[in-house]
Structure 1
Amino acid sequence: MAREDSVKCLRCLLYALNFLFWLMALCVLGVSAYLRDQLNNVLTLTADTRLEEAAVRTYSPVVHPVVIAVCCFLIIVAMVGYCGTLKCNLLLLSWYFGSLMVIFCVELASGVWTYDEPMVQRSDMISLKSRMPHFGLQRYQWLTHAWNALQTELKCCGVIYFTDWLEMTEMEWPPDSCCSNQYPGCARQAHYNDLSDLYQEGCGPKIYSFIRGTKQLQVLRFLGVSIGVAQILAMTLTVTLLWALYYDHKPPEPASADALIHTHSPTEDPLKVSHSHPRASEAWANTPANGHTQFEMEQLS
């Protein structure tokens, strides 16, 4: 009874852990997709600079295909673990344990390999100004889109200040993506009427903070550590459940030779039986005469 309760408890814990695997893997994929879009714009503006190398090092868990593949594989493994726990299948549970071990080793190696502090300084932000003269040109539409998307997402304008657009380009006012309330021609109207409608902070410090690490990146790292801890716990519970199920399905051991001799011992002594069972002796005394005795009595008569 105690073993059955233990098996039920282990199965419930594995159900909960597999659900956590699904949830955390989907969260990692969602946060990675969110950061990837913003990272692409940063990499576009910082191409061929030290900033690009620093951004790739910092966000390697996001852009590295191994991490995405591991999360997708973890969802499949969690499904197998759920089915193996539900059916108490030793083969599925063994495959589940082995897969978790492989995933954990890959995650550990990836974490050690990608852990590196980005070597970037605030003075490197000045190199972004070299990208500004190409804004709005027909053959640099990809750069124009990156500037507009980044200024809208980070709520910034220019590199240090919005006047960078007037210094580095032939524009008379900043792009419309610098407006806090965007609509066609908003930057021109703000330039002549109210400069407070433009973002006052430059994009350089915000890109620097992004490369150093954002809250979303911290969440991603926390999810990675949580998945690793949950995998260790799941592997421990799986081994325990396999041990319990194995001994439940194990055939009984054959009886020993002494037990067989005792079971198949010769017939006991009748006198011993009569002493141990008095009713048997009484029954023997009250037994009617057999056929030979009855025949002799008929001849005498």
Structure 2
Amino acid sequence: MVTDLRLPLGSRCIKYLMFIFNLLFVITGIILISIGVTIRTVYDDYQHLLDDKFFSLPTFLIFLGSIIFFIAFFGCCGAVRENYCMILTFTGLLIVIFIMELSAGIAGYVLRKEVHQVIESKMNSTMQNYNSSKATKELWNALQEDLKCCGIHSGHDWIDAKVPEFPPSCCESEVIIKSNKNCTVETARKEGCLGKLSSSIKAHATELGGAGIGIAFVQAIGIWFAIYLARAIRLSYETV
């Protein structure tokens, strides 16, 4: 049932601003889902070189972005109907989302510090399986071709790992054709893959952290709107 409360002019402005904010709130949900899906897709390409915790964060942002649509319903309906209970529910849910997004943002920055060690450890372990595992061979070949690199730190890592077949993906195809020889450590790319991949993953972790913290502070404004409007509605009830 729609109420006919006479809110003060300032509170009515907050009411309409809150309705507009909820539209922006929905947009932030779409942004979170887009960022989460994009980075999750990037991480999938290197899933054998990353821990599960790197996948949990983008998945978590996708989840948050999805439930934002549900929460925005309470905000819009509560503002339009001037319903105290719905506004209060919206405020509570928004505070929970704020805390979760802030936590996700902090987790994104924490992950940046672990990227180098995790990837280096995974690279060392998978390099030994280059010739015995088709999936590992495809992973390394795709990695070295995409990032234009060779080995962990250099092509000498393949020699140290005593891999029978030096990966042809370590060399530019033009170099092999021109020399009419197989790819060797002498003709391989000089830059290792660890630095390039670590930089890429760190950049994505920073994006996740920035998105979580940035949108959380935007939603803090919505919490203030909701609390102010809920207080005005309660006072209007008390004066009726």
What is the TM-score when the length of structure 1 is the normalising length? 0.58
Q: Give secondary structure in 1 for the equivalent of 2:92.
A: helix
Matched, 1:144 2:132: no
State the partner residue of 1:295.
none
2:4 maps to 1:9: no
Cα pair distance change 1:100/1:172, threshold 3 Å: closer
For 1:221 and 1:112, locate their aligned partners in 2 and report how far apart those are by CA, in whole Å.
Answer: 6
Question: Taking structure 1 as reference, are residues 71 and 163 closer, same or farther at Cα in structure 2, changes over 3 Å only?
Answer: same
Q: Larger relative contact order (C-alpha < 8 A, sep ≥ 6)?
A: 2
Letter in 1 for 2:74: V
The one-letter amino acid paired with 2:196 is K
CA deviation after TM superposition for structure 1 residue 39, in Å: 3.0
Is 1:207 equivalent to 2:202 in the alignment? no
| Separation in 1, partners of 2:167, 2:109 | 42
1:96 aligns with 2:90: yes
- The whole-number CA distance in structure 1 between the counterparts of 2:152 and 2:24 is 42
Tell me if 1:220 matches 2:213.
no
**Superposed, which structure 2 residues align to 1:77-226 within 5 Å?**
77-108=71-102, 116=110, 118=113, 125=120, 128-135=123-130, 137=132, 140-162=133-155, 168-171=162-165, 174-175=168-169, 179=172, 188-189=176-177, 192=180, 200-210=190-200, 213-214=202-203, 216-226=204-214
The aligned runs of 1:41-80 (5 Å cut-off) are: 41-45=45-49, 52=51, 56=53, 59=54, 62=57, 66-80=60-74
Gaps of 5+ in 2: 1-5
Q: What is the CA distance between 1:7 and its match in structure 2?
A: 3.2
How far, CA to CA, are the matches of 2:24 and 2:148 in structure 1? 35
CA shift in 2, pair 1:114/1:30, >3 Å? closer
Number of the residue aligned with 1:34: 38
CA apart distance, 1:77: 0.5
Q: Does the 8 Å contact 1:165/1:174 carry over to 2?
A: no
- Cα–Cα, structure 1 residues 111 and 84, in superposed 2: closer, same or farther, change >3 Å? same
Q: Which has the larger radius of gyration?
A: 1
**What's the secondary structure of 1:171's corresponding residue?**
coil
Q: CA deviation at 1:175?
A: 2.5
Structure 1 residues 42-72: Cα deviation after superposition (integer angstroms, max 9, x where no partner) = 45136xxxxx5xx94xx47625x55443332
Structure 2 counterpart of 1:80, which letter? F
Q: Is the 8 A contact 1:45 1:143 kept in 2?
A: no
Q: Distance in 2 between matches of 1:173 and 1:114?
A: 34
Counterpart code for 2:147: L
Q: What runs of 5+ residues in structure 1 fail to find an aligned partner?
A: 47-51, 180-184, 253-301
Whether the aligned pair in 1 keeps the contact of 2:25 and 2:68 (CA below 8 Å) is yes
Cα distance in 2 between the residues matched to 1:61 and 1:79: 27
Counterparts of 1:4 and 1:192 in 2: how far apart (Å)?
84
Aligned to 2:3: none
Aligned to 2:228: 240
- 3-state DSSP class of the match of 2:168? coil
Q: Which moved more, 1:232-241 or 1:33-42?
A: 33-42
AA aligned opposite 1:45 = L
CA distance in 2, matches of 1:69, 1:200: 41
Distance verdict in 2 for CA 1:174–1:102, change over 3 Å: same
Which residue of 2 is the match for residue 283 of structure 1?
none
**Gap change, CA 1:30 and 1:201, over 3 Å in 2:** farther
Given that residues 152 and 192 in structure 2 are in contact (C-alpha distance below 8 angstroms), is that contact kept between their aligned partners in structure 1?
yes
Q: 1:154 to 1:246 in 2, by over 3 A?
A: same
- How many Å apart are 1:225 and its aligned residue? 1.4
The number of residue pairs the alignment matches comes to: 228
